[in-house]
Structure 1
Amino acid sequence: MRGEEARKLDQIVSKAMEKSGAPGVSLATIEEGEVTYARGFGARDLERNLPTTPNTLIGIGSCTKSYTCLAAMMLVQEGALTLDTPIRDLLPVDLGFRDSPITVKHLMSHSSGLPSLGMANVLIEKESLGGHTLPLTSDEDFYSFLNGASQHVECRPGESYYYCNAAYTLLGLLVEKLFGATLEEVFRSRIWEPLDMKRTTMLQGQFQSDPDHMTAYYLKEGKPVKSRHPFHPLIYAPGGILSSALESCNYLNMYLGNREPLVDEDLLA
């Protein structure tokens, strides 16, 4: 990236931070497989005045969903399931329409009809703000919570788009069952290690022991207030990964065809 382009990008990020109140931003760009710009803005810890860098571990939120899909597509490639496999054949989910079952594809494409019910928000509040919320502490709690919401189904599977974090929690549980491992173990062995993403994690201990990690904040009356990043297995699949801008470039380069694909290219399309 040429100097003038980099300066313009610096200005765009600085203005966006000022408008949003974000304490820190980490950014990298790729051109023809090479990182051409990498910079941190602001602070990763306001109290200690520690700078954000291109290596700062930051929660990537719903970008995690693409990793969960990739792990599921590995199972498709290996013949463990298909995109048309009904999820009720593999998980204790009794929800929806008997004549039109929810499939793996429906979970991936936010077209399952499953109600959102704010589950992710409930868990984030509980983990990060210490609030008293619904007792969702296990997979069994999640299944009971979801199956009890059959009257809130939004539509028949495949009929309409409706963004749903709970669908990705189900997809993550499916991935764990068929791989016989935790989602973090699957991501590490099948995605992060092959792509040289050594510091990327979903584990609280690894994140907190890393010398360059973000501090979580939320905005209150326009000002950042220190919080805790939510660590809970039920929100790992829809939004649990913490990574750096530079390690994320390795992942992006795989999709751009600049690294060896982890599944057949027709499964990435």
Structure 2
Amino acid sequence: MTTSQEELLPGTRRALLHRIAVAQSEGRAPSLVATVVRDGKRVWTGSRTSVEGHAPDENVQYRIGSITKTFTAVLVLRLRDEGALNLGDPLERHLPGTGVGEATVAELLAHTGGLAAETPGPWWERTSGALRPELGDVLGERPLLSPPGRRFHYSNPGYTLLGALVEKLRGASWEEVLRRDVLEPLNLRRTGVRPQAPHAAGWAVHPWADVMLPEPAVDLGRMAPAGQLWSTTGDLATFMAFLAKGDERVLSADSLQEMRTPAAPHATADVVSGYAYCLGLEIRHHDGRTLVGHTGSLPGFLACLMISVEDDVASVVLANCTSGPMLFAVAADLVRIVAEAEPRIPAPWKPSPDADPATLELTGQWYWGTHAFALRVTADGHILLGPLSGTGRRSRFRANGDGTWTGLEGYYAGELLEAVRRPDGSVSHLDVGSFVFTRQPYDDGAPVPGGVDPEGWRGVG
């Protein structure tokens, strides 16, 4: 990924530097480094440090904690796309004998498998993985706290199981598969399971005094797929660009869109706070902006990456302290600063190279009962059906090649849209998951469910 610092205006760069300077100072972080990506390019990197005369850059490694889970999720989605598994498969089908095999692959990805949040025994993040050599040591005697699929409960052991699943189906270690399938194709040379110089040391900062204590940098062993990785803001900038737009060598844009789609039911507090978990990614709503990414922490380190797909702006922030700056707020602010100070300039409108007459025939106004909808053809060849005004059921549909379309999101996700034609070939109505859309409200020339009063529309008198 290329760096182009001059692409941001001086005022924007100063606002970004001011934000991370406040975060490092008030959060009392030994060091903090951040990078902003726009349109797939790294456009700004800044850092602050307590060591005079030296500051980390985009090549200094930090531990990224649970951002590792996003990498593991990419490996699982690759297996799905290759046909090695289905997300609805129970774990037992591929990895028998765990005791939690009724949980599905998708439920483990979305933290709805019913598993405990942590491992039994000593705090796994500060103790050697050698204490937990087998899956049974990670899961304990009571791995399930609730029936699978019932509720969201963040689970680190769940991602250990996903890492073991990757190993079983690939016939190689999680580390080897990650390097071969993700790190090397994306050229993430400074990301790995062990630190390589230059790297930051992890510190605990005393909560009531300006003194520090070194944190141990342990190998997490079996728990590695949940939080082992070290990386840099430079590598994570490249990874964020991949998460936003895809790379066919690793994972398609459609599969990444699926990863960014909420998949977990949440407690009321999460809904109110605008938080949802997807398949290895989080969605957070902040200051009217939808951000997708992940946070991470391990003793001595904090990490956060967030992407605004709509603004095409992303940020990553790393710090080497156990607690301190609220990195999500920092990352969200970096995105906001760039998006508001230098809003995205849209690409010029261009006409489509061709037009399908059968699809063009469907465009325009439709009615579901008395609700007015419009059907449009989008630039990517999909069709969009949504209300003419206000809020309501809205979805894009992908052509299936047989005259039908499949819904991609919202209420109609997975539902079939079909243009039902009369014997003469003209379109009678749209059937969308059994709902009939007609050219006129309650069109008596179409098979409206329940029929249409033969006397037609009339006034009160």
- The answer to whether the superposition gives a TM-score over 0.5 is yes
Q: Is the 8 A contact 1:56 1:213 kept in 2?
A: yes
The 5 Å alignment of 1:71-86 reads: 71-86=75-90
1:118: Cα distance to partner? 4.7
Deviation digits for residues 100-120 of structure 1, max 9, x if unmatched?
x20100100010111124559
Deviation digits for residues 75-133 of structure 1, max 9, x if unmatched?
1111111101111223221137xxxx201001000101111245597122224xxxxxx
Instruction: Quickly say closer, same or farther: Cα 1:145–1:35, change in 2 above 3 A.
Output: closer
1:50: Cα distance to partner? 4.8
Aligned equivalent of 1:131: none
Q: Is the 8 A contact 1:254 1:260 kept in 2?
A: no
1:19: Cα distance to partner? 2.3
Aligned equivalent of 1:149: 142
Q: Unaligned regions of 5+ residues in structure 1, if any?
A: 128-133
1:230 matches 2:231: no
Which is helix-richer, 1 or 2?
1
Instruction: Quickly say closer, same or farther: Cα 1:229–1:23, change in 2 above 3 A.
Output: same
Please point out which of 215, 221, 229 is paired with 2:207. Answer: 221
1:69: Cα distance to partner? 0.3
Q: Is the 8 A contact 1:25 1:42 kept in 2?
A: yes
Aligned equivalent of 1:242: 230
Secondary structure at the aligned position of 1:218 is classed as: strand
Partners of 1:186 and 1:161 lie apart in 2 by 28
The 5 Å alignment of 1:160-171 reads: 160-171=151-162
Deviation digits for residues 219-252 of structure 1, max 9, x if unmatched?
2335331222222222211111111101111111
Instruction: Quickly say closer, same or farther: Cα 1:70–1:256, change in 2 above 3 A.
Output: same
Please point out which of 170, 194, 207 is paired with 2:185. Answer: 194
Q: Is the 8 A contact 2:119 2:139 kept in 1?
A: no
TM-score (norm 1): 0.84
1:185: Cα distance to partner? 0.9
Aligned length: 247
Please point out which of 35, 56, 80 is paired with 2:42. Answer: 35
Q: Which runs of 4+ in 1 moved over 4 A?
A: 118-121, 258-261
Instruction: Quickly say closer, same or farther: Cα 1:258–1:72, change in 2 above 3 A.
Output: closer
Q: Unaligned regions of 5+ residues in structure 2, if any?
A: 1-7, 258-461
Partners of 2:204 and 2:108 lie apart in 1 by 29
Deviation digits for residues 137-191 of structure 1, max 9, x if unmatched?
312xx314525115xx332211111011110111111111111111111111111
1:18: Cα distance to partner? 1.9
Aligned equivalent of 1:95: 100
Cα root mean square deviation, aligned: 2.3
Q: Is the 8 A contact 1:199 1:243 kept in 2?
A: yes
| Bigger mean CA deviation after superposition, 72-81 or 34-43 | 34-43
Q: Is the 8 A contact 1:168 1:238 kept in 2?
A: yes
TM-score (norm 2): 0.50
Aligned residue identity for 1:6: R
Which is strand-richer, 1 or 2?
2
- Asked which structure has the greater RCO (Cα within 8 Å, sep 6+), the reply is 1
Please point out which of 116, 132, 136 is paired with 1:137. Answer: 132
Which structure: larger Rg? 2
